[in-house]
Structure 1
Amino acid sequence: MTDLTAVPGDDRSLRILSTGDLAGIDISLADVVETVEGANRTLHAGQSDNPRKLTVKPADGHSVAYAMLGRDGSRDVVAIKTSYKHGLDKGRDEQHYYTSLTVYDDVTGLPVAMMDCSRIGSLRTPAVSALLARECAAPGARSALVIGTGTQGRLALPFLLTTLPDLDRLMLSGTHPEGIATVREQLRSYFPDREVEVVTDLRAAAGDADVIVATAGGHTPAAVEADWLKPGALSVLVGHGLAPSTLHRADRVIATSEAQMNVTGTDMADADGKLPAVDAEFPQILAGATAARGSATERIFAYNSGLVVTDIALGHRFAQLALAQGLGTEVALWR
């Protein structure tokens, strides 16, 4: 594995890693899963800090912005992630989305890099969903349904196959032809012998699925209801595509972070504006401190809101790979 110690710099310059710089870096799905899993375990061990995210949103809901600060204790780095999306009241092609991660070495006190965080997020989130599936799916799970073909849906199936290689039926619910084509292309690039089945009857597909990963955008008409689910089904919410009943009628509720779910999951609240209590947070499950499920027939709802410590761990790994290749632009930011 690549050495993750910080690359020496100076206190007046900052290395900027663009979308293009990060695009060409080769990293396997298994490496991403391992990095993300390690960050969760370190957090559970009390070595890292992952405070609740800050959110601002205008009254008309046309945009949303987040700020997330964290510290990775295994790497001794501090970082802040920002995320801003504009045009939530418009179609996908009219939206603007910017996200960045700035990393500092907490041993030397020097900046490591500031980078576009889009690729990091596009890898981190489906890796967490795949880990949730590995830990929380019913024994012998063989079928998976992904709802949505946007950024978070396009690598969902390859990551699921990385952690659950025995899946033999892969289903996709999507409405954008370009997105569907990209999902097929991504699956073929990682698993050339596997095919995805595009489904049009969402209720029937949901009833057949052992694992459902909902990644669709806010305008999706898809809304899987609790009574569509088979016994033992695992429903993972990343974006949209699950109705609130899947949360409120679940036998067990798991979240990457209950605090973050209470911030970003308000669209899943009941008529009184309330969310149910979380039975377990995912870092506890990964560490073996809490069982993922009590029986093979429990219907489990998992909320994948992401943890900034996983962005930090994966971003730091990308930074080290990029710096080792001499990528990026040095900016005299503090001169």
Structure 2
Amino acid sequence: MTDLTTASADDRSLRILSTGDLAGIDISLADVVETVEGAYRTLHAGQSDNPRKLTVKPADGHSVAYAMLGRDGSRDVVAIKTSYKHGLDKGRDEQHYYTSLTVYDDVTGLPLAMMDCSRIGSLRTPAVSALLARECAAPGARSALVIGTGTQGRLALPFLLTTLPDLDRLMLSGTHPEGIAAVREQVRSYFPDREVEVVTDLRAAAGDADVIVATAGGHTPAAVEADWLKPGALSVLVGHGLAPSTLHRADRVIATSEAQMNVTGTDMANADGKLPAVDAEFPSVLAGVTAGRGSATERIFAYNSGLVVTDIALGHRFAQLALAQGLGTEMALWR
């Protein structure tokens, strides 16, 4: 059961959770990691459904839209997420981005909530990167490099410290002063005793890093090459910042979903337009069925594409917390 059966008054009402409603909800990084991990384990157990996302993009590439439908078997909820970004040919300040999640109770058949999904995505994605690092980083990993200071980069280090608390060198590669300041503030708010080192020599920093998380936008000049990496390095691709060689020359390739990697990872294709086969999908790694790493010296490439079941799980968790606090607005949407 969802424990949210009173979220909507009847089958014609829907609770709307705005950006402001969700911003005021306090949730720990450990809670987010646990929720996301549980969603992966349920998916691997065959209790959830996560079909391939649908994508539409105009020929000139100025926008992209996704639709993702899924079912969480442990929560008995069905949800659809939509995502639309406009202005991909422009700078960050000129882009528009809208994303929402609508959740239905698959026991009662009633709608639970419709919410802005931006905060959920900003938490879910770095939590997945942190889980990938926990399972796939070399034993004794001590240094991490984050490339990019946008939405996905700002919480990458706090989440990495949540799953790899022994990290003692935190490096950041970014070009936007406000983004760099935001990353430092996020680390300071969660781990006040930790310092962030801003690096300007990307090649040297990549060569020192045990874990690299690339979150930069499409206009970044950053492109870490395979021969920059030290033995045992783990490279996690979220956005941009890694050259295709890090994928094609990796000793082991992990993906949250091979099908989604083949849809959204085409910019990492080789000269023939092909992507290498995936050695393991991450749900099976988390379940202990497949090893995340075969040896301490393997260079591993991990592709972090969002699975809607993780959005559903985290969105449901936010809806629980919002309802407990009386947040949101009931809308008679279908009257």
Task: Establish whether TM, by shorter chain, passes 0.5.
Answer: yes
The answer to whether the 8 Å contact 2:8/2:113 transfers is: no
Give deviations 1:220-267, integer Å, cap 9, x for gaps: 000000000000000000000000000000000000000000010000
- Residues 71-94 of structure 1: per-residue CA shift (max 9 Å, x gap): 000000000000000000000000
Offset, 1:329:
1.0
CA distance in 2, matches of 1:116, 1:261: 25
**Deviation of the 1:7 alpha carbon:** 3.8
The structural deviation recorded for 1:8 is 5.5
Say if 2:77 and 2:105, in contact at 8 Å, map to a contact too: yes
Q: 8 Å contact 1:128–1:304 — kept in the other structure?
A: yes
Q: Is the 2:2–2:75 Cα contact (8 Å) retained in structure 1?
A: no
Q: Partners of 1:5 and 1:234 in 2: how far apart?
A: 43
Residue identity over aligned pairs, in percent, reads 96
What is the CA deviation profile of residues 194-228 of structure 1, one whole-angstrom value per residue up to 9, with x for unaligned ones? 00000000000000000000000000000000000
Q: Is the 8 A contact 2:2 2:77 kept in 1?
A: no
Cα distance change of structure 1 residues 253 and 4 upon mapping to structure 2, 3 Å threshold? farther
Native 8 Å contact 2:5 2:108 kept in 1: no
For the residues of structure 2 that align with 1:72 and 1:219, how far apart are their CA atoms?
35
| Equivalent pair of 1:145/1:172 in contact (CA under 8 Å) | yes
In structure 2, runs of 5+ residues without a counterpart are none
Which blocks of at least 5 consecutive residues in structure 1 are unaligned? none
Mapped partners of 2:66, 2:316: distance in 1:
20
Query: 1-side partners of 2:243 and 2:8: how far apart?
Result: 49
Inter-CA distance 120–6: structure 2 relative to 1 (3 Å threshold)? farther
The alpha-carbon distance between structure 1 residues 226 and 72, as it changes in their structure 2 partners (threshold 3 A), is: same
8 A contact 2:137–2:234 mirrored in 1: yes
What is the CA distance between 1:324 and its match in structure 2? 1.4
TM-score, structure 2 normalization? 0.98
Q: What is the alpha-carbon distance in structure 2 between the residues aligned to residue 77 and residue 238 of structure 1?
A: 27
What residue is the counterpart of 1:170 in the other structure?
170
1:9/1:111 contact within 8 Å kept: no
Alpha-carbon RMSD: 1.3
Q: Could you list the per-position Cα deviations for residues 154-186 of structure 1 after superposition, in whole angstroms to 9, with x for gaps in the alignment? A: 000000000000000000000000000000000
Give structure 1 regions of 4+ aligned residues with deviation exceeding 2 angstroms. Answer: 1-9
SS of the counterpart of 2:4? coil
Distance in 2 (CA, whole Å) between partners of 1:293 and 1:235 is 13
Q: Secondary structure at the match of 2:223?
A: coil
SS in structure 1 at match of 2:74: coil
- 1:4 is displaced (CA, Å) by 6.6
CA distance in 2, matches of 1:332, 1:263: 37
Contact 1:4 1:75 in 2 (8 A): no
The alignment partner of 2:193 has SS state of coil
**Cα deviation code 1:257-315 (max 9, x no counterpart):** 00000010000000111000000000000000000111000000000001100000000
- 1:6–1:105 CA contact under 8 A, matched in 2: no
Alpha-carbon distance between aligned partners in 2 of 1:3 and 1:224, rounded to the nearest angstrom: 46
Deviates more, 1:317-326 or 1:65-74: 317-326
For 1:9 and 1:162, locate their aligned partners in 2 and report how far apart those are by CA, in whole Å. Answer: 38
1:102: which partner in 2? 102
| C-alpha contact (below 8 Å) 1:2/1:321 kept by paired residues | no
Per-residue Cα deviation, 1:128-166 (whole angstroms, up to 9, x for no partner): 000000000000000000000000000000000000000
Give, in whole Å, the separation in 2 of the partners of 1:17 and 1:333.
14
Structure 1 residue 5 displacement after superposition = 6.7
**Can you list the C-alpha shifts for 1:53-73, whole angstroms capped at 9, x where unaligned?**
000000000000000000000
Secondary structure at the aligned position of 1:124 is classed as helix
> 1:225·1:243 contact (CA, 8 Å) conserved in 2?
yes
1:182 aligns with 2:182: yes
CA displacement at 1:6 relative to structure 2 = 6.8
TM-score, scaled to structure 1: 0.98
**Aligned CA distance change for structure 1 residues 272 and 248 (closer, same or farther; 3 Å):** same
CA contact (8 A) 1:5 1:75 kept: no
Question: In structure 2, how many angstroms separate the alpha carbons of the residues matched to 1:191 and 1:2?
Answer: 33
Name 1:311's counterpart in structure 2.
311
Supply the distance in 1 between the matched residues of 2:83 and 2:323 (Cα, whole angstroms). 24
Partners of 1:296 and 1:4 lie apart in 2 by 45
Secondary structure of 2:151 counterpart = coil
SS in 1 for 2:144: strand
Where 2:276 maps in the other structure, the secondary structure is coil
The change in CA–CA distance for 1:187 and 1:175 in structure 2 (over 3 A counts) is same
Q: Is the 8 A contact 1:15 1:330 kept in 2?
A: yes
Distance across 2 between alignment mates of 1:95 and 1:294: 41
* Structure 1 residue 9 displacement after superposition: 3.1
